[in-house]
Chain A
Amino acid sequence: MGCKCCKKNKNSEELTDVERAIEIVINNFHCYAVKGRKEGLTPGELKDLVGQRLPHLAKGAVCLDEKIECLGDADEAKLQFGEYWDIMGDAAKGCRGQKK
């Protein structure tokens, strides 16, 4: 996949870890939102993203796949950034659970 997730901003060295983290999450969204209108991810694209980019966290958040399946038709539905962010939140909660 010819994606440029790791491309660096001119001023990325000045960014804090949190800012860099947010940037990475955003870049991943745009990396995978390639079908049709690019402002949204299809559930299929999201599933690929979770499988390929979250190999460890996806294990912690058991119901991630089921949640994605509930989001609509794998190739038709378009998920906005907010919905993608919610799924990332579930993954984050999974990783908080693992830490205990």
Chain B
Amino acid sequence: MHGSKGGQVMITDPSELEWAIQTLVKNYDRYSSRGGCCGCCCCCKKQQRGISKGGFQKMLTHELNHMLTDTKNKQAANKLICDLDENHDGKISFDEYWTLIGGIASPISCLIRQQEENVKFTK
């Protein structure tokens, strides 16, 4: 695991946070390049690509199965997919993908903060 300690930054290696962002970008590319595309970056330039709704659902079950075990989060995810119905372009663009993952991350972020507060109180 890459990481920067105490604010000192390794210039050669990507930081942990950079690894995380790149992983999310790669994940988008992996699911958006399915179906006819050879998977290389050059195709994506020529054609506006996105993740199909089915592909997004597949991604949620394959890549986010632990995070979505919590019912509350599952509801949030279902709502996100419902919201996609209103957007009739049928494909999830990178922006939309990012917003959706953010929608999943945000409640988790709140939970973590609450947990940290609780830990503080019990100390």
CB-CB contacts below 8 Å: B76-116 with A: 94-95, 98-99, 101-102, 104-106, 108-110, 112-113, 116
What's the nearest-Cβ distance from chain A to residue B102, in Å? 4
B62 contacts which chain A residues (CB < 8 A)? 16
Cβ contact within 8 Å between B64 and A25: no
Number of A residues with CB within 8 Å of any CB on chain B: 42
With an 8 A cutoff between CB atoms, is B20 at the interface? yes
A26 to B6 CA separation, bound complex (whole angstroms): 18
Cβ contact within 8 Å between A85 and B64: no
B45 contacts which chain A residues (CB < 8 A)? 100
A100 contacts which chain B residues (CB < 8 A)? 41, 45
With an 8 A cutoff between CB atoms, is A24 at the interface? yes
Cβ contact within 8 Å between A53 and B63: no
Cβ contact within 8 Å between B23 and A92: no
A70 contacts which chain B residues (CB < 8 A)? none
A55 contacts which chain B residues (CB < 8 A)? 9, 11, 15, 18
Which one, A18, A28, A82, A86, contacts B24 given CB within 8 A?
A: A18
> Given A21-B23, A25-B17, A54-B15, is A16 in contact with B105 using a C-beta cutoff of 8 Å?
no
Cβ contact within 8 Å between B15 and A26: no
For chain A, what secondary structure do more than half of its interface residues adopt (helix, strand, loop), or is it mixed?
A: helix
CB-defined interface of B50-66 with A at 8 Å, one 1/0 digit per residue?
A: 00000000000011111
CB-defined interface of A1-43 with B at 8 Å, one 1/0 digit per residue?
A: 1000110000100111111111111111110000000110000
17 contacts between A and B (CB under 8 A): A5-B3, A17-B23, A19-B63, A21-B23, A21-B27, A22-B108, A24-B16, A24-B17, A24-B19, A26-B112, A39-B113, A53-B4, A53-B16, A81-B110, A85-B102, A89-B99, A95-B22
With an 8 A cutoff between CB atoms, is A67 at the interface? no
A85 to B118 CA separation, bound complex (whole angstroms): 25
A25 to B79 CA separation, bound complex (whole angstroms): 22
Q: Which residue of A lies closest to B15 (CB)?
A: A53
A21 to B109 CA separation, bound complex (whole angstroms): 13
Cβ contact within 8 Å between A19 and B113: no
